[in-house]
């Protein structure tokens, strides 16, 4: 039997499987109006460098998952928000989150990584 991976699953994981993409999408989905400033995202996603965050936000914007909103009133303010496409993807991550809560011991993994064992 010749079993192939569904191209839709493969394409989806090409997006969410890249480091930080899933976390950024999930983070924005939790923000008020699904919108945040660069500094908020950087502060709350521990471990991401400003350069990596900038690259990821650009990639997600180019993929149509987030919008970069620039306003100048009176100073320039840049925010990032989920598009409908990004919101749909964030909603599809919820069952994965529930699966992880049921089957993965995340707290134990965090403890092991930080050396608290």
Taking the C-alpha atoms of residue 10 and residue 14, their distance in angstroms, rounded to an integer, is 6
Q: Is residue 2 a part of any domain in this protein?
A: no
Q: Is residue 106 a part of any domain in this protein?
A: yes
What token pair was written down for 14? Answer: 């090409």
What is the domain extent for residue 43? 7-114
Q: Is residue 46 a part of any domain in this protein?
A: yes
89: CATH: 1.10.10.10
Q: Is residue 12 a part of any domain in this protein?
A: yes
**What is the DSSP secondary structure assignment for residue 77, as one 8-state letter?**
E
Q: Is residue 19 a part of any domain in this protein?
A: yes
The residues pairing with 71 across neighbouring beta strands, listed in sequence order, are 77
Is the pTM for the entire model greater than 0.85? no
Q: How many domains does the chain have?
A: 1
User: Which tens digit of pLDDT belongs to each residue from 16-61?
Assistant: 999 999 999 999 999 998 899 999 999 999 899 999 999 999 999 9
Average pLDDT for the chain: 87
Where does residue 45 rank: exposed (0-12), middle (13-18), buried (19+ CB within 10 A)?
middle
3-state secondary structure 40-57: HHHHHCCCCCHHHHHHHH
What is residue 74's predicted lDDT score, i.e. its pLDDT?
87
Q: Is residue 1 a part of any domain in this protein?
A: no
Work out the percent of the chain whose per-residue pLDDT is above 90: 61
């Amino acid at each position: 039997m010749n079993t192939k991976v569904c191209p839709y699953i493969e394409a989806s994981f090409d997006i969410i499987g890249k480091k930080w993409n899933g976390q950024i999408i999930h983070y924005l989905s939790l923000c008020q109006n699904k919108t945040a400033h660069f500094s908020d995202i950087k502060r709350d996603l521990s471990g991401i460098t400003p350069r990596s965050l900038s690259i990821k936000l650009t990639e997600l914007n180019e993929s149509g998952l987030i919008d970069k909103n620039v306003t100048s009133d009176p100073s320039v303010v840049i925010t990032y928000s989920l598009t409908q496409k990004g919101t749909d993807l964030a909603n599809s991550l919820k069952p994965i989150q529930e699966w992880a809560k049921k089957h993965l011991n995340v707290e134990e993994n965090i403890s092991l990584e930080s050396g608290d064992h």
